[in-house]
Structure 1
Amino acid sequence: MTDSPPVIRNDEAGQYQLVLDDGMVAGFTEFVHDGPGRLIFPHTEIDPAFGGRGYGTALVSAAMADVAARGETVIPVCPFVVKYLKEHEVPGLKIEWKDRYVTIADEASTAGKNTAEKNPSDEGVGS
């Protein structure tokens, strides 16, 4: 993974955004408030022009670290976020797993290579 652009939390947009030097948003992971201190993460997207650079992983890593630092709880719904959290420990992060979404992420990860379905490990997931 190369050095990635900074990740900012944009509460107004409900997103953590990967922002380039020129201000362009190269990718985002959405969040929805589900009560005080609880965030649902339903979708992550990296602009296809920036795929293959590890930006998806860098984005979700920074977002989860920030959520942990704020003492908030993550409810992962996005397959990319689910997969990231299953493979990486984030110190201090509180996670509320929803079995349905873990199953969906697992199925997407093991989908045959001849399908058009995106794998949650794809950097451009959701695009």
Structure 2
Amino acid sequence: MTRPAPTVEHNTAKHRYEIHVDGERAGLTAYLDHGDQRVFHHTEVDDAHAGQGLAARLVQEALTDVRASGKRIVPVCPYVAKFLERHEEFADITDPVTPDILEWLDSRLG
């Protein structure tokens, strides 16, 4: 019997994309919107699901959704930044992390 494929869902109420395995959340990438920018600030995958490529799939689908929404990407999260280095197809919608963005993010996250 094969396991169902992981699914990615956009949880707008919690400002994050979640990846689910067998119906349970296995990871997330969190963001805050700043005008037309979606500022990604944290990505995690549960230890039980580490090494399965879930973070890459999660971020790929999240960034594809950002493109479809007409927003731009700001990769404060180190994982998202590293992902973007290897995936140039998102370069046209990626903005640099600036001191202003970091200050704004810090004021929002506390």
Query: What is the TM-score when the length of structure 2 is the normalising length?
Result: 0.79
**1:32 aligns to what?**
32
Aligned residues: 96
1:92 positional shift = 8.0
Q: Which has the higher helix share?
A: 2
- The CA deviation at 1:29 is 0.2
**Whole-angstrom CA distance in 2 between matches of 1:4 and 1:28:** 16
Cα distance, 1:44–1:62 mapped onto 2, change above 3 Å: same
Ranked by relative contact order (alpha carbons within 8 Å, sequence separation 6 or more), the top structure is 1
Aligned-residue offset at 1:33: 1.1
Note the 1:19-58 alignment, pairs <5 A: 19-22=20-23, 24-35=24-35, 37-58=36-57
1 or 2, which has the higher strand percentage? 2
Q: What is the 5 A alignment of 1:31-110?
A: 31-35=31-35, 37-90=36-89, 94-98=93-97
1:16 counterpart = 2:29: no
Q: Give the deviation of 1:91 after TM superposition.
A: 5.3
Separation in 2 of the partners of 1:57 and 1:29?
11
Structure-1-length-normalised TM-score: 0.69
- Which letter maps to 2:61? A
The match for 1:125 is: none
Residues in 2 aligned to 1:64 and 1:15: alpha-carbon distance in whole angstroms: 12
User: CA, structure 1 residues 96+39, in 2 after alignment: closer, same or farther (shift >3 Å)?
Assistant: same
Unaligned runs of 5+ in 1: 101-127
* CA distance in structure 1 between the aligned counterparts of 2:15 and 2:88, rounded to whole angstroms: 24
Q: CA RMSD in A?
A: 2.0
The separation in 2 between residues aligned to 1:5 and 1:97, in whole angstroms, is 30
- Residues 9-42 of structure 1: CA distance to partner in whole angstroms, max 9, x if unpaired? 11101100001232x110000010112x211000
